[in-house]
Structure 1
Amino acid sequence: MATPDFILSLREKIGHELLWLPGVTAVVVREPAGASAGREVLLVKRADTGEWTPVTGIVDPGEEPAVAAAREVLEEADVVAEPTSLARVGVTGRVTYPNGDVSQYLDLTFRFRYVSGEPHPADGENLEATWFDTEALPPMSDDMAARLAAGLTPETTPTGFSFP
């Protein structure tokens, strides 16, 4: 799915100014059958940057973040997954898009359990969607690696923030 309609509507009013948005990252994990198989994680190769990442997306107005992440996994990779925990809360740096729009995201990273589906780039946002063994991951940005690491940690306490 391209830019959500509510963001296009906001952009009509504020132009390219900084827009603060809630975002989600879905770290979908599956345990393949067979004693020799290791744990796998779903990654997508983004069409806009060519980078491998977990599935990410924007939370629609009024949408629960975990529901948004599950929706994004289904829309982008045609995989059904269910959230098991909130793994990380973080803030991205400012992103300036080629058209001049500036955004920054509050990112909520969720760990998901795979339910069904064979991954493929379902909505045109990605070039590829596939499973990677967690011991043989492709290169990715430090930010995406941190989100992935948090989602692969079986802790239930979110990381990435501190209390005063």
Structure 2
Amino acid sequence: MADFSQSYLGQLRQLVGDRLLIVAGTRIVIENETGSVLLDLRADFEVWALPGDACEPEEDAAQTIIREVREESGLTLESVTPFGFASDPHWETTTFPNGDVCRNFSLMFTTRAFSGTPRPLDGEALEYRWFDPQDLPEMVPNHLRSIEAWMRWKAGEGFQLI
């Protein structure tokens, strides 16, 4: 399991407890050659979600998603493309099982350029699996909205603000 206490967010949590934090972060829709998307079964909620996480102070958003995917799944992302931004407080405010509350501002990326086989590495995911975007399992609700936004973007509707 990754040492959360050493991350920027973990250090903030030590100072403020479980009160609401505004968090800059990323998530990504990774699409394979058959059009399936990669989801991880989250250890905290035990439902499916997109890969992603909070930014560290020294990173830009693209560096964050590339690092997070590598650390969590072992995949190497060769390039990423932003397709939208998620910030609606109704959907992007999350209370975690331990009581921590985060309001997310997440740049959403996509890629088809990656190498490796996804596998749980740091304890944040229990499993990785590819799913048809038209036949998804139960998901973290804001991540499901991100996939819906990605599908609109792929259909030509432009950068998505959700």
**TM value normalised by structure 1:** 0.81
Higher helix share: 2
1:66 aligns with 2:65: no
Paired residue total = 155
Deviation larger for 143-152 or 20-29:
143-152
Deviation larger for 93-102 or 42-51:
93-102
Q: What are structure 2's unaligned runs of at least 5 residues?
A: none
Aligned with residue 21 of structure 2, among 13, 19, 29:
19
Deviation at residue 19 of structure 1 after TM alignment: 1.3
**CA–CA distance in structure 1, aligned partners of residues 126 and 50 of structure 2:** 13
**CA–CA distance in structure 1, aligned partners of residues 8 and 74 of structure 2:** 24
- RMSD of aligned alpha carbons: 2.2
Secondary structure at the aligned position of 2:78 is classed as strand
Contact 1:2 1:125 in 2 (8 A): no
% of aligned pairs identical?
32
Higher strand share: 1
Q: What are structure 1's unaligned runs of at least 5 residues?
A: 32-37
Question: Residue 140 of structure 1 aligns with which residue?
Answer: 139
**CA–CA distance in structure 2, aligned partners of residues 132 and 138 of structure 1:** 8
Question: Residue 35 of structure 1 aligns with which residue?
Answer: none
Task: Give the AA of the match of 1:147.
Answer: S
Question: Residue 92 of structure 2 aligns with which residue?
Answer: 93
Task: Give the AA of the match of 1:136.
Answer: D
Larger Rg: 1
Question: Residue 104 of structure 1 aligns with which residue?
Answer: 103
Q: Aligned in 2, Cα 1:99/1:115: closer, same or farther, shift over 3 Å?
A: closer
Contact 1:26 1:70 in 2 (8 A): no
Deviation at residue 84 of structure 1 after TM alignment: 3.6
Contact 2:45 2:97 in 1 (8 A): no
**CA–CA distance in structure 1, aligned partners of residues 140 and 18 of structure 2:** 25
**CA–CA distance in structure 1, aligned partners of residues 3 and 104 of structure 2:** 17
Deviation larger for 132-141 or 110-119:
132-141
Contact 1:87 1:156 in 2 (8 A): no
